[in-house]
Structures are given as structure tokens and as C-alpha cells.
Amino acid sequence: MRKMAGLVIGLSAALLWAPEQETLAKEPAGHHKTEVVAHRGASGYAPENTIAAFDRAVKMKSDYIEVDVQRTKDGKLVIIHDTTVDRTTDGTGKVGSLTFEEIRSLDAGSWMSENFKGEKVPTFEEVLKRYKGKIGILIELKSPELYPGIEEEVANLLKAYHLDKPRNEKVIVQSFNFDSMKKADQLLPRMPIGVLINRASDTTDTAIEQFADYAEYFNPSYGLVTEELVTKAHDAGMKVQSWTARSRDTVQFLLDMKVDGIITDYPDYVK
């Protein structure tokens, strides 16, 4: 991989005396424990992409929280999955058409249960401040094509919190938008990059070879996962985190496939 080759050249002297400081991307592909990624937090138990869900994931000893980043009309990076606020708040409208003040005033918890009434849509910076050093963070840029320049904004915040180097914290940036991830790779050369895969056409030998040029994680829908696919990704130097496991049977299937991480609404399903 291009990025890995550059790191080897740049860090070879240091690694002679500090091999334990190698980055996540440089770990061997052979097997250790499967990491637990709490999808939008422990979203099976608390409203997705809220502090309640992220805190629950930490309490459940997940290895990562997965978060979705978008941008408000006035330029604030916020954590929300859909490109509208309709499903997960009591408001309506596109995320990119609402100001931060408007989005912050919404209730992001009552849709799931009255026990979560008053939960707010968090900012990306709040998540970095609260969870840095406590848990890994898998950052998805959600529909980045709607938010020109969002890669630079995310990169700048990660650098501000000294999270742009995997040796410091477990942080990964991923997206379904491959061009966006190529850009993120340029902006964050020492950050693990992930590609989200939901099409069989992106699982070919040629596609995997192309992804491996800039990505360290190949993250397919569980419906695409086979032992052969996992092996091909590993042989290309990438790890595999699969999504989204919402049943114990799916979790067991992914464990049997020897993936490196399971992205799940129910972190406690992964033993």
C-alpha cells in the first residue's frame, strides 16, 4: 500500500527501538480478537448518535463508537445519520438547510423512548472532547458530496485534538464516497481510512487492489461477506469491519468469517 510504504520509510529508524508504536494500519492481518464497533453508539439500547448511546457503548466496553458527521447551514459539524432531521428528531428539514441553533433545539431522544426526552444532536467536537482516550472512534463522513470541504474541516479538528495519528488514539475515517476517502487520505496520511462497501461490483480483485492503494479498512455489508472476500482483503493489507449486525446469528456468522470488527447496534451480542 502506498501509505504504508511511505510510513515504513519515514519511521524505520524509530521502529528499530519502538516497534510497539506502529500504527493500527501496520498491524499484521493474522488473527486476534474481533473488535466491537457500536453502530451510532449502542443504538439498540439508546437513541442513535446521541451522548446516551455513546455513553452506553463505553459502559458496555465496546472498542469503538461509530459516528456520522454532517454539516449545518452555518458550518457546524454535527453527528446525525440521515440527511434530514425528520426520522430521529421532532423537527423537519435537511441538515444542511438548518442552522446549528435550529438543530440543537430539537429533541433527538423521544422518538425512541420518553426516557431519553431532551437528548440533543451532538457536535463532532463534543464527541472528540468527551471520548478521546476512552474509546476508539469510527468516523463516517455521511454524504460528503453535499458538504464541499468537509474533509478538510474534519481533518483540522482531528489535528487540533491530536487524533490524526493512530499511534495516539484508535480513530478511523470512512465513507461510501471513495473520492472523499482519497481526499481524506491525502489530508490525513497517517490516519487509517475505510471504504464502506454495499455493492458486489466493489468486491472484485481489481476493486480491492484499487482500494488498498489508499485505504486500510475494507468495510462491507454483512450480506457480501465470505471467507474468500475477507482473505482477499487481508491479502491486500486491509482489515475488515462488517456492518450492521442486529442479531446474534449475524454476529456469529461474522465471527465465523474471521472479520476484524463487527459493527453492531448491540455491542453485548459480540462475546
Please identify every residue annotated as catalytic. Answer: 39, 81
Which amino acid is residue 271, in one-letter code?
A: K
CA distance 164 to 182: 16
Cα atoms in the Cβ-side hemisphere of radius 13 Å centred on 133? 4
Strand intervals (E) in 4-135: 35-39, 64-71, 77-79
Measuring CA to CA, which residue among 134, 43, 135, 24 is closest to residue 81? 43
259 secondary structure, DSSP code: -
Phi-psi category of residue 16: left, alpha or beta, with phi > 0 → left and psi -120 to 50 → alpha: alpha
Beta-bridge partners for 128: none
In 3-state terms, what secondary structure has residue 95? helix
DSSP letter for each residue of 169-220: S-EEEEES-HHHHHHHHHH-TTS-EEEEE--GGGSSHHHHHHHTTT-SEEEE
Pairing status of strand 193-197 against strand 261-264: unpaired
33 secondary structure, DSSP code: P
CA distance 259 to 32: 10
